[in-house]
Structure formats: C-alpha cells, structure tokens
A and B are shown apart, each in its own frame.
Chain A
Amino acid sequence: MKRIVFSILVIGCGLLEAQPYGSLDDLTAQLDSLTYYLDSLHKNLEDRWLYSKKIRLKGIEDVLKRLENLESVLLWESPFKYETIKEFKQEIKTTRGTPVFIYHKFGDIIIYASDSDELKVDGVIELVSKSREIAKEYAKEINVKIEESEDKIKVITLSPVKSSPAVHYQINLKILLPKWSPVVVRNAFGDVEIEGIEERCSVNTRFGKIGLREIKGPIEVANKFGKIELTLAHKISCNISAMTTFGDIETDLPLKIERDRFILKALGVIEDGRIWIKLNGKNSDIYIRVLK
C-alpha cells in the first residue's frame, strides 16, 4: 500500500516539475494531478487502521520540495504585456437609513464614512491581457454597476460573461458612504476596510483581510481565510462574540476566552452591551483593539 501511495506521489509530482507558464489548460492539468495526489494522501491518512500502524509517508518531505515547483507556476509574473486601466466614478444621493449592498469578487474594497448624504463610488479596473484587442473587448464587459431601489442601493461589480485564460483582472473600489448608512459587503478575493460608519456593518469575505475601524453600529463579520481586525472607539458599549476555528484571538478587552473542541471563542459584555458584535473566522486570526 505504501508503495502504491509513494508511486502516486512521484507520478503526481513529476508532472509538476519544471513546468513553465503555459495555457490555463496546462495549469489545470498540473493542478489536477497535484489534487489527485493530495487526495490519495488524505484518504490513506484517514484510514485509521493504517494510521494506527504508524504509516510512514516518507514522500511527504519530497512533496514539500516539489511544491516549490508549483510556486513557479502559480506565482509567475504575468507574461501578458497589455495592461489596461479603466476608471469608474459615480455619485448618487441617498436617504437616511437606506442600506447599501456591495457585491464584489476580485479586488479590494475601502469604505470611508462622510457627513454628506452622497454615495461616491470610485472603481479602478486593472485588466491584463495577451493583446490590445482582447483587453479592449473585455474592458467593455468588466464594470461597476449601481442599482437603486426604494429600500436599498446595490453596488455590483460585473465580470465578463465568457472567461478567458488570456485575461485577468481586478477591481479596486473606494467608496465614500454616508455615515448613517447601514452597509453590507460581500467579497471573495480581496481585502475589505471600513471606517467610521455609525450604522450596521455586515462583511463577508472568503480570501482576504477584513479591517473595521471605529464602527459605532452593530457588526457582523465572517471570513474564511484572512485575518479580522476590529478597532473599536474608546469606551464603546458592546456585546462581543468572536470565534475562530483554526486561528487565534487577541483582544484589548476583558473577554472570556474558551475553547470548545475546534472552536476558539471570546465572549464578553462591555459597559451595558448596547451594540452587538459578531466576528466569525474559519481559518482566521482575530484582533480586537480599542483606541486609547
């Protein structure tokens, strides 16, 4: 059995060796073999009988070395020459209390609070492509859209309908938001920073850092991979519940920290617990700071 596993390792990793940057199909094939090989390892480890026999997977050290080859494939500098930058700017008036929903996927989001009732969205779309024609074609499709309805405002980033390995892009948003607007942010591959909002903030991202500073309304944060940094105003009255599965929690506040099997929790009521704060990280470190 060990020999079989080791053979899978060698074959799988051999495919990864010394692969220059190629097409997306090449990359997919390499990733498939690595995933297959890792799955085999995973399954063997899960077999408790083998595990209790202290299965010695000598190939694992070798694998770490071979993973370095994947580094050159995945962390390459883009060979594409044509970089297009497209800017988006829009301002709209908001009514007090209207929530703003931001749906984003690739890129960072920075939100500042303002005293005015205007919502300003500045988007910078960075598009890198193989050719000028492709860049132009795709730049038309990638955009930011603002939808206004009676009870909410939606800021949505639009991706091209048809994906191409010859194009990659990211959209970075800077948003000036009335401080009395509740905000809901959904993102995937990018950081989210919000400062000074006095209403409810709900942030959910999967692969990026979340930083919230001096938010005075209720907070709800969920992150999968990426740290969560919360900086609270001095003498805030709140009821905090923070939990992370595979991370750590650091706090300036006197919270009760406990571990329940996989989950690390920090709970506590500060002053009279007027606003609730819920921080939920999966593989995230959580930092709760208080301004002096």
Chain B
Amino acid sequence: MRCEEVSENLSSYIDGEVKDKMEKNISAHLKKCERCKKEAYELRLIKTEARSLSPIEPPDWIWSNIKNTIWRQRLFKRVFAIASAACLAIVIVGSLFFIRTSQKRAKTDIAFERLKTLDEAIEECRESLRVNPNARVRKTLYNMYKEQVETINLICSEGRE
C-alpha cells in the first residue's frame, strides 16, 4: 500500500471505520512506514485532545448579531416589496396619465382640424355675403363664427385642465 493511500484513509482508520482487508493493509503499512506511523500518532493525539475539551458557550453578542441579520433580511424584503409596489403604482399612474393625455390630444387635434374647415366655411360665406347678403347667408356666417369661437374655447379649456 502506498503512503498517499494510507494518508487518505488514516482518519477513518483511527475512528475504527475501516474494515477487513483495508484495515489489515493500513496496519501493516504503519508497522513498516515511520512517516505514516508519526502522522497516525499526531492524528490520534489531536482527536484525544479534542474529545477532552469542555463545551464552549457562545457569547451574548452572537445572538444579537443573528437577530440583526434576520431583521436586516426582513427589512430588505419589506423595502423591496414597498419599492415594487411603488414602481407598479408609478407605471399604472403613468399609463393612465399617458392614456388621458392621448385622449385629450386626440380631442384637441379634432378641434384644430375643425377650425380649419370653419375657416374655409367663413371665407366662403363672406364671399357670398358680398354677392347676396340674404338672411340665410348671414345666419350661416354667424353660426360659423359662433362655432369657431366655441371650438377655440374648447381648445383653451382642454389646455386649462
């Protein structure tokens, strides 16, 4: 048997966990090899001394350290949960704001488009007013102006919100 092999199994051999052929081989090797024999002696000595040590009481600070660690972990979890909820809330509020702004913008765009058609209509009415200022033309022109002012008012009120 080689020294490396003995060294690998030496601790188990001392504890009586190695049996049969392996045990015999190790015993035979230890009788012949001084180096391994010395190593076995030192290992036995360490194990004997370790068994003779009295149990050690952990210091008080170790419990407060453990408590602190647990508290920190819990705090981290809570902070993480709150931060996640806050992020979610920001995303929801942001989305709602975006949707509302888009709707408002769409409404305003329609109003601007309507202003263009009213401009054209007013021009046509005024042209006709020069040719024939009859009641119908005048009333139509008045209605076009009124609608134009109301549309501008709508755009302003959208801006004020």
Contact = CB atoms under 8 A, between A and B. Distances in A.
Given A42-B115, A71-B142, A168 B134 contact: yes
Interface in B106-157: 109-110, 112-115, 117, 119, 121-122, 124-126, 128-146, 148-150, 152-153, 155-156
Given A106-B137, A207-B140, A56 B160 contact: yes
B159 interface: yes
Contacts of A45: 112, 152, 155-156, 159
Contacts of A90: none
A290 interface: no
B35 to A, nearest CB: 88
Given A159-B132, A283-B117, A75 B137 contact: no
B133 A24 contact: yes
B125 A35 contact: no
Given A67-B146, A159-B132, A245-B117, A225 B140 contact: yes
Interface of A is mostly: mixed
Contacts, number: 124
Nearest to A71: B142
Contact of B134 (A56, A106, A225): A106
A207 B125 contact: yes
B145 to A, nearest CB: 6
A107 B119 CA distance: 23
A1 interface: no
The dominant DSSP class at the B interface is helix
Contacts of A75: 135, 138-139, 142
A63 B149 contact: yes
A70 B145 contact: yes
A171 to B, nearest CB: 10
Interface in A48-70: 51, 54-57, 60-61, 63-64, 67, 70
Contact of A64 (B122, B133, B153): B153
A169 interface: yes
A189 B136 contact: yes
Interface centre among A24, A105, A207, A246 (most CB of B within 10 A): A207
Contacts of A130: none
A189 B125 CA distance: 9
Interface residues of A, number: 50
Nearest to A42: B115
A56 B152 CA distance: 12
Contacts of B138: 74-76
A41 interface: yes
Given A67-B149, A224-B121, A245-B117, A106 B142 contact: no
A159 B153 CA distance: 38
Interface of A: 24, 27-28, 31, 34-35, 38, 41-42, 45-46, 51, 54-57, 60-61, 63-64, 67, 70-71, 74-76, 78, 105-107, 128, 159, 163, 165, 167-170, 188-190, 206-207, 224-225, 245-246, 262, 282-283
24 contacts: A24-B130, A27-B129, A28-B129, A41-B152, A45-B152, A45-B159, A60-B149, A60-B152, A67-B145, A67-B149, A70-B145, A75-B135, A106-B128, A106-B137, A107-B136, A170-B132, A189-B128, A189-B140, A206-B121, A224-B117, A225-B121, A225-B143, A246-B110, A262-B110
The 3 closest A-B pairs by CB, nearest first: A168-B134, A74-B142, A163-B131
Given A31-B129, A46-B112, 19 more contacts: A24-B130, A24-B133, A27-B129, A35-B122, A42-B152, A45-B152, A54-B159, A56-B159, A64-B149, A64-B150, A75-B142, A105-B132, A163-B131, A167-B132, A168-B132, A168-B135, A189-B134, A189-B137, A207-B121
